[in-house]
Structures are given as structure tokens and as C-alpha cells.
Amino acid sequence: MDHQTLVFEETFQGSTLNRSRWNVEVGDKWHNNEAQSYVDDHDHLIVDNGLTLLALVHPEFTSKRRYQSIRMNTKGKHEWQYGTFVVRAKVGTGVGSWPAIWFLPVDIGNVKWPLCGEIDLMETAGRDPEVMHFSLHTEWFNHIIKTQRTKFFKIPNIHEDFHDYKMVWTEEKISFFIDDVHYATFEKPSMDASVESWPFDKPYYLILNIAVGGTWGGRIEEKDMSYRMDVAFVRVYQ
């Protein structure tokens, strides 16, 4: 299926985030034993004709946790079922960083994870920054029970420049690319697949974030901070 009509484009022009398109999540407690608070301020989220997400260490203890970062999404503002998604990003390094470009479904508040589903267009752990991961999570296939449908590849020097992280999502399959090089495809088990194995026939929203530490981010090296991810644009075609 060709997705040729541009239905969403964000280039982060100007100096402020377009709040009609994006939410910034705030809170101190998150999944996976992550160590960060997510905050909403200009120290961690910078718009300057492009987007920069930063995770910083704050040695002075306040009501928030020692590590503070950004998690933003399009929930309730822009959500899509099927399409081609391209995020041009430069993913930084740093032991303990866990940057990700990913999707959750609109019904996650009513349907528990992982039955609701999750799509990870790109995630990487700073302890091994050249390894890029592409994954799907469902009730039957998820990382908690170590059955997730996932593939990962070591791509030398990928963190040194911007790259186009692309997902092509149809009714039959979900495929992942970097700079139009195909890396992974996960096919729907069958056209009558159960929601436990394929909950990907409903709208999802986009998330951009940098987690710190946790069960996957691992050991944190404060000397490596700040952790950083830059985003040049987001484009969605249907």
C-alpha cells in the first residue's frame, strides 16, 4: 500500500512548541523503574527551528527526582490508523540514556498494557548507542515475558548525524526503515488475528521521549549527561 498524501507535518519552526499539536507529559513515577521525572520547561525542551529534548541531572534535590527529562505526545490531537511515518532525528549517546520514538493506542486508558498494544519505531540504550531496536508489544508478545516481536541492528556511527526513521504500517504488516533502508517487518499472523496477538487495527498516537536508567536504560553515568535527542521534522502520509 502506498501512502502518498501528507496529512501531518511538524518542523518545529519558531521558538515555542505548538501546543495545539503536542502534549508535554509531567510526573515523577514511570514504568520500567525509570529514574527520571518528566517536566515541562525550556531547560529540557528547546524549540529553535527544530526540536531538542534534553535529560539533565539536577544535584539539588527538590520535589522532583534527580534526573529530569522530556516526554511529549500527540494524544487527543493527532492520531492515526495506518500510514507512513517519518521522523528525522539525531539520537545522542550517554550511558543510562534511553531515547525512543514510539506509539501507544488511543484506548490505553481503558485497555491495559500490553493488551492495548505498543509500536516502537526506534529505541536505543546509551550503553550501546549504535544498536537500534524496532519492536512490537502485545498481550501474547511483550518484553515482560520476553516474547516481544523485535529486531535490532548495530549501525556504526549512527548517533553522529540526523537520520530518517520510518515506519510503514498497513492492515497486513508493520515495516521499519532507516534512511529508506529496510531493517524489519512484522506481519499480521492472519487476517482474523486476535487482539491478543495483533492490536494494531486502531488509531495510535506518537511519543518522543528520553528515559533515564531503568530496567532497560541500565546504569546511569552522570558524567555523560546531558542526554539529547534532536528532531528536525515529523511527517505522516496516508
- Whether 101 and 205 have beta carbons less than 8 Å apart is answered as no
Give the Cα separation of 42 and 15 in Å (integer): 10
118 flagged as catalytic: yes
The 8-class DSSP code of residue 156 comes to T
Catalytic residue among 10, 34, 118, 139: 118
d(CA 18, CA 47): 10
Using omega within 30 degrees of 0 as the cis cutoff, is the peptide bond preceding 226 cis?
yes
Give the cell for residue 174.
508493520
Q: What is the DSSP string of 86-142?
A: EEEEEE---TTEEEEEEEEETTTTTS-TTTT-EEEEEE--TTSTTEEEEEEE-SSS-
Active-site option among 10, 34, 123, 139: 123
Residues labelled catalytic: 118, 123
